[in-house]
A and B are shown apart, each in its own frame.
Chain A
Amino acid sequence: MEATLTESVCASLRVYLYRNATFLCERLYADFPSENNLHLLATCYFRSNQAYRAYHILKGSKSAQCRYLFALACFQMDSMVEAEAALLYPSGAGSEVPNGAAGYYMLGVICRLTDRRQAAIGHYTQALILDPFLWSAYEDLCLLGAEEEAAGLLGDVAVSRLQQQQQHLHWELRTQTSAPAALCIDHFDTGNGSHSQLRSSFSNAGSPKHSRFSSVILGDDTSSCVNSGGPGSGAISVSGFTDYGSNSLAFVTPTAGSSQVPTPGKNMQGIGSNLGGSLVATTEGPTRANIAAGGHSQQRRKFVDEGKFRKVSGRLFDAVPRRSSRLAGESKSSALGSITSSGSGPGSSGAGGGLYTLAGSSGTTSRSSGNSLQSSGIRKGLSFGSMESSLDDVEEDRPGGSVAGVYHGSKVFQDGALELLNLLRILGEGFRHLCMYRCQEAMQAFSKLPQQQFATSWVLCQVARACCEMVDYPEAERIFSEARRISAHHLEGADIFSTVLYHMKKDVELSYLAQETVAMDRLSPQAWCVMGNCFSLQKDHETALKFFQRALQLDSRFTYAYTLCGHEYVAMEDFEEGLICYRNAIRMDSRHYNAWYGLGTIYFRQEKYELAEYHFRRALQINSRSSVLHCYLGMALHALKKNEEALSLLEQAIIADVKNPLPKYQKANVLMSEERYDDALAELEQLKEVAPRESSVFFLMGKIYKRLDFPEKAMYHFCIALDLKPSTADVNLIKIAIEKLHVADDLEEENL
């Protein structure tokens, strides 16, 4: 009965019937309380978003998989200490991190959230060494600012490592052809209850954290199962398309809804490397990717036609499915959510990536490579072409010799891996440059992508962010609109888009965006940030603050929401609260230069100029190309009377962004305070060319002329300033200045 129950549970899990799975699993565990079954039960709970239940039942369990799942449950419940302890158990030198790359990645995340930057970097690096396709780890490295480490990891080193793995694989392969009938992981294979459990558990483990991204789909069916024991019987990879019975390559892929079809016959013949091709689809716009449905021989055939891969059984790396699901989850293009809806199987166009399961060496240090879940989705690439042909070869060879087939398969795999690595490398380069705020280079890097990859919302959002950092708001707006046109459900970049619109004062577009995003997903913190920005533009700061706080309720680690709250408090002149908010933002992410800038402005207003200078410098350290930051630092220095330095900084600001009028204006200000009136006037004349309708320019010129004792010219400029319709408060200022034209500057009146 145990096997039957296990099978049913796994089947239910596969088709997302979590209540059913949970119930059956509880029966299973009641009768056969083994660690594997416990793990399966925890998986069921985890999948049904009940991480706390998984936490309770897994407490104290020792096996690697259970520890990993326990750590994930702890993480969900915000209990970092326990999560870390679970991953590093037994503590000390002998500790063995479960699931290799995935375990290290989890450790990295925990360290990052508990503010141990170096440790986090170490863990992420290790994870990437084990699996060069672990994009999330790479992303986090960039966000931490660990540029040098990140730069190396997707380079040639990774390629050579992959090749090594391949060699190893072959070698394994050859020595294993005589292995007994493989443990097919196909769960319909009634033989191995434990394996199928392991398998489903793996598929699960990744998803919980990202359940909201419905990466479940991916986690679910990836065919990987690990045989963590057996000597000769290595991995069992379970999927493949096959229409010949002999090879039971049951292909299980993340399918939207199509259940896995029991492959007829399931014995793998103890073959080594395994090529899995699971397609991950992203449904971006026209190129609807396909999720290969596992299964029916007919489907399989079609898949083959569409260039899916054949899987050769082999050893699987446990973490593979999880990683892929996590990757899918973390993918910026939340299009993955739509994978479920994108229809199953054959017929749909497009191609996906391949889930490569690489047979690793026996034991826990198997590496895994191949992750088809490129965050931007993997489209049909050139590799498919080549793959197809080699697949055909494989097909032919099949009846002949499985080993030979395997050999071909692994070559195919290697090409695919290299191709993927290239893609990841370009994306990684772009992302890394963007995180270091080298926006030009980032845009260049991203432009090297093939068109279909470029036109995905994740990439477009990154490019638009780069434009935004370069203060090229019209271009950023254009790109963001494009991204939204392609996939309106991708909300990750919406908050930056709203900032762009805020700067451009486009209130109609901003309110439209706010309505759309909130309607799309009421539980998305970015949507509420957009709403908040919308109200902030209308100067309704209290309501804006309310919305930003709502965003924080939804995700208490959302750095930008803290910064925006800070901005609102400052606008309401509540500096204490503003300081708190900015400091929170920095606590979440110390590279968030907006928060450093915010702190600087508060101290500037409070006339604590040294503190202001310090904070502006910190912000500048992070983002050294921002003209606005240079300008503000210059202003702070001017306030500290360090005019030399101020002038040089303002010069840098001008060079950094020629179109930025503020540093020129400030430079004129500084020059005026140094009584270099002619230089100041020269600057302002230049400025007049650039911004002919800016009344503050004329006002300053008027003041200078007054100092130089040209009252007529001063009056002339004041009048022009008035004509340009500044805001009412400023009108008053100008009028006062006009009235005082004939009075010396130092005579001021107090009102009361």
Chain B
Amino acid sequence: MDDEGTGEKEDEGEKREIGKLAVWSVSSFKPGNGVDLLRDSNIETYWQSDGAQPHLVNIQFQKKVRLQQLALYVDFKLDESYTPNKISVRAGNSFHDLREIKVVELAEPIGWVYISLCPSDSKEFLRAFLVQIAVLSNHQNGRDTHIRQIKIYGPRQNTVIGHPFQFTTMEFSARSTIR
């Protein structure tokens, strides 16, 4: 069990937010605080669950994508007992073959929490159809949870085709594409 709480915030140029390629769903929600508030780029609004634990957020892609990082915005000061405490990240091809890839324990977090999705023993990216975020427990043993925003990142496609690398020098990169 790792605690990769804050993780690394990688350079913006290295990753792309690919949440828009996916269908998002939740296990339960309170009316007025549904799943769209997870994706509205507004940290003032939040999703509130309304059922039994564990609370689930499912991210389903149409095609197998490469995933790099997950980012959650939570705020202990505002949400207190609604703030998640233990989060399990699972991935797989469908709901029946999910495999837990990471468990994260949070301690009174305020702000963005980055969870790296790359398997820690290699530098490859995670490739999956479905990612599930399970909130196993909350702070102060709260029943329901608030999450204010979730973003999911994949690596950037290289602009130069047929070549795995980004060129580092100007001579190469200036001649590598036609704009």
Interface residues, chain A, CB within 8 Å of chain B?
471, 473, 499, 502-505, 539, 564, 567, 571-573, 593-594, 597, 601, 604-605, 626-629, 632, 635, 638-639, 657, 659-662, 665-666, 690-691, 693-696, 699, 724-733, 735-736, 739, 749-752
By the criterion CB–CB under 8 Å, are B14 and A661 in contact? no
**Is B92 part of the binding interface, using a Cβ–Cβ cutoff of 8 Å?**
yes
Q: Which residues does chain B contribute within 8 Å of A605, judged by CB atoms?
A: 157, 161
Offer 20 A-B interface pairs, CB within 8 angstroms, sorted by A. A473-B174, A502-B179, A505-B173, A571-B159, A601-B161, A635-B162, A661-B175, A662-B172, A690-B171, A691-B171, A693-B169, A694-B167, A696-B165, A728-B11, A729-B14, A729-B166, A730-B165, A739-B122, A749-B124, A752-B128
Alpha-carbon separation in the docked complex, A272 to B96 (Å): 95
Interface residues, chain B, CB within 8 Å of chain A?
10-14, 16, 91-93, 99, 119, 122-128, 155-159, 161-179
Alpha-carbon separation in the docked complex, A725 to B163 (Å): 17
Alpha-carbon separation in the docked complex, A539 to B158 (Å): 12
Q: Which of B128, B168, B170, B178 is the one whose CB lies under 8 Å from A594?
A: B178
By the criterion CB–CB under 8 Å, are B161 and A604 in contact? yes
Given contacts A567-B179, A659-B171, are A733 and B164 in contact (CB under 8 A)?
A: yes
Closest 5 CB pairs of A and B: A732-B123, A696-B165, A503-B174, A727-B166, A660-B175
Q: Which residues does chain A contribute within 8 Å of B14, judged by CB atoms?
A: 727-729
Besides A503-B174, A662-B172, A749-B122, 8 new A-B residue pairs in contact (Cβ under 8 A), listed by A number: A626-B178, A627-B175, A628-B175, A729-B14, A733-B123, A749-B124, A752-B91, A752-B93
By the criterion CB–CB under 8 Å, are B167 and A696 in contact? yes
Given contacts A503-B179, A627-B175, A662-B175, are A725 and B165 in contact (CB under 8 A)?
A: no
By the criterion CB–CB under 8 Å, are B157 and A573 in contact? yes
Minimal beta-carbon separation of B164 from chain A (angstroms)? 6
Closest to B117 in A: A751
Given contacts A605-B161, A725-B168, are A752 and B92 in contact (CB under 8 A)?
A: yes
By the criterion CB–CB under 8 Å, are A729 and B172 in contact? no
Alpha-carbon separation in the docked complex, A573 to B161 (Å): 12
Minimal beta-carbon separation of B90 from chain A (angstroms)? 11
Alpha-carbon separation in the docked complex, A632 to B160 (Å): 10
Q: Which residues does chain B contribute within 8 Å of A732, judged by CB atoms?
A: 123-124
Closest to A572 in B: B16
Interface of A, helix, strand, loop or mixed by DSSP: helix
Interface of B, helix, strand, loop or mixed by DSSP: loop
By the criterion CB–CB under 8 Å, are A724 and B168 in contact? yes
By the criterion CB–CB under 8 Å, are A729 and B156 in contact? yes
By the criterion CB–CB under 8 Å, are B93 and A694 in contact? no
Given contacts A691-B169, A735-B123, are A728 and B175 in contact (CB under 8 A)?
A: no
Minimal beta-carbon separation of B132 from chain A (angstroms)? 13
Alpha-carbon separation in the docked complex, A593 to B178 (Å): 9
Alpha-carbon separation in the docked complex, A751 to B155 (Å): 15
Alpha-carbon separation in the docked complex, A122 to B92 (Å): 64
Alpha-carbon separation in the docked complex, A691 to B173 (Å): 11
By the criterion CB–CB under 8 Å, are A629 and B165 in contact? no
Given contacts A696-B165, A749-B122, A752-B92, are A661 and B171 in contact (CB under 8 A)?
A: yes
Given contacts A635-B161, A662-B175, A728-B10, are A694 and B168 in contact (CB under 8 A)?
A: yes
Alpha-carbon separation in the docked complex, A191 to B170 (Å): 71
Q: Which residues does chain A contribute within 8 Å of B13, judged by CB atoms?
A: 539, 727
Which of A499, A690, A694 neighbours the largest number of chain B CB atoms within 10 Å of its CB?
A: A694
By the criterion CB–CB under 8 Å, are B162 and A726 in contact? no
By the criterion CB–CB under 8 Å, are A733 and B179 in contact? no
Alpha-carbon separation in the docked complex, A380 to B56 (Å): 79
Given contacts A724-B168, A729-B155, are A629 and B178 in contact (CB under 8 A)?
A: yes
Alpha-carbon separation in the docked complex, A604 to B167 (Å): 19
Closest to A469 in B: B178
Minimal beta-carbon separation of A68 from chain B (angstroms)? 40
Alpha-carbon separation in the docked complex, A539 to B122 (Å): 27
Alpha-carbon separation in the docked complex, A539 to B159 (Å): 11
By the criterion CB–CB under 8 Å, are A733 and B127 in contact? no
Q: Which residues does chain B contribute within 8 Å of A729, judged by CB atoms?
A: 14, 155-156, 158, 166
Alpha-carbon separation in the docked complex, A695 to B93 (Å): 36
